[in-house]
Amino acid sequence: MCGKRIRDEKFGCHNDRIDKAAAKCARKYRLSYLHDKLNDQRSIYEILKKTGQNTDGFNVDFLIKNMENRSGIHSHFQELREGCFYVNWDKLRGKWVVFDEFSGDMQEALAFYVFAEAQTNLNMLKMGIERYVNKLRETGQLLRKVPYPSYVELKTPDKWECNSLSPPIQSKVDSVKYEKGLKVMQQFIDQRSFQFLSFGVFRKTMLEYLKTIDKQSDEQWYPHPMIKSMMMALSIAKKEKKIGANMAALSDDSNMTFSGKPTMSFSVIAKMVSEEACEVVNITELSHPDFQFNQDRIEKIIRTETIIERHPGKEIPFSTYIEALNTIGIRTKMIKMDEIPDAIRYIKDLAQKGLLAQYPKETVAQILAINGVEEWDDLDGVVRATTVSLYGINKYPEFNSHMTPAEKIPKFKCRQSILFALEKPYLETA
């Protein structure tokens, strides 16, 4: 398999935990040049001082990381800037359609980022012009006055006019706005990458999902690792524009679990098939490599995510989880708390009659030891699930699944159970 492999932990920050090999592949040529030719920090200090720049607190690793982050944005910068600020103007509402999709704080951060980048680019352009003009004057090739810089004599870098230009980021508040705007821009890029994929019969499903997540703030957005990997792989393929070359992305749900360890890890391979279209070549859940992600199963995951992602953060109401299951054909019943006493009596009766022989002995022993509903919260999770499941099957046989009473449920648990349920035969026609 050729291409790049990127490891992501927090969506939108591709370089936070990227391995060295992937980072090297992901860099633009200018970054490779910087890394290969100027990796000696002292030589970089000398070059910067010659141009009159302040080197206080300078760190080469920070510079490389900052340029990596920016390089992933700038190939899309003009397209997204035009999309947000110059096109799709709604005459009736007096607003830009795309820009208006963001929340107020995201709009402010994105606007600050765009104008800060524009100011930075302008400052860099002026520095480049001034450097070139002075080089021509040094060799005697330019003697007349030019619009910029305003002086006509030869000047050393420490006396250039560009040194007096104000930087766009002047405070910690500005830095926070800039970083947030960069994250919004990256999220926007990865969402738009889906537009270059042919979704066929479930295009409507994907468009509904994209509409749901458009207004999610980056800090509270915890997407499904499969979708996260798809976004990254498609974004890389679109950026590189190497037709036929595989681009791979890896992601997991470790940023959502209690232990910080993943329960699901996905690998997605995508490639450009033409100048305007991408396709997903392969999707693999690494702990279940034999599980086949066909079009039907992918669509069902996206349909459940459209419901789950209505709620920001790491948890959703239990009622939303049941709605997500129902939408793919799993009729789910949550046993109410006032039914738990009956459920306990029912499961203990089964245990006393020897009808739970197929269950682990320790589980049966715990069931027999239950004294009353007041012990419910302290019971082992397996005991609670077994009690509710068997009671639910007996009382509500028309439902496929029966759940313990709860107000909220972590998103990673929802996704685990949905992935497990998709292996069940009865879902193939849901």
Q: Token digits for 36?
A: 């290969």
pLDDT of residue 78: 61
Tens of pLDDT along 271-291? Answer: 888 776 777 888 888 888 888
pLDDT of residue 395: 93
Cα 18 off chain centre by? 14
Closest CA to 341 of 397, 405, 407, 402: 405
Q: Token digits for 302?
A: 């996206």
pLDDT of residue 66: 58
∠163-110-174 over CA atoms, to 5°? 45
pLDDT of residue 33: 37
Whether residue 341 has a cis bond before it, omega within 30° of 0: no
How many residues appear in the chain?
430
- The Cα–Cα gap between 392 and 339 comes to 10
Per the confidence metrics, is the pTM higher than 0.95? no
Place of tokens 């702990």: 287
pLDDT of residue 122: 84
* pLDDT < 70 stretches in the chain: 1-91, 93-102, 186-203, 215, 218, 276, 424-430
pLDDT of residue 426: 37
Phi and psi, residue 138, nearest 5°: -65, -35
pLDDT of residue 5: 40
Tens of pLDDT along 335-363? Answer: 889 999 999 999 999 999 999 988 999 99
pLDDT of residue 400: 83
Q: Token digits for 355?
A: 């009808």
Q: Residue 333's beta-bridge partner residues? A: 402
Residue-wise DSSP of 30-76: HHHHHHHHS--HHHHHHHHHHTT---TT--HHHHHHHHHHHHHHHHH
pLDDT of residue 2: 39
- The Cα–Cα gap between 130 and 124 comes to 10
Cα 373 off chain centre by? 42
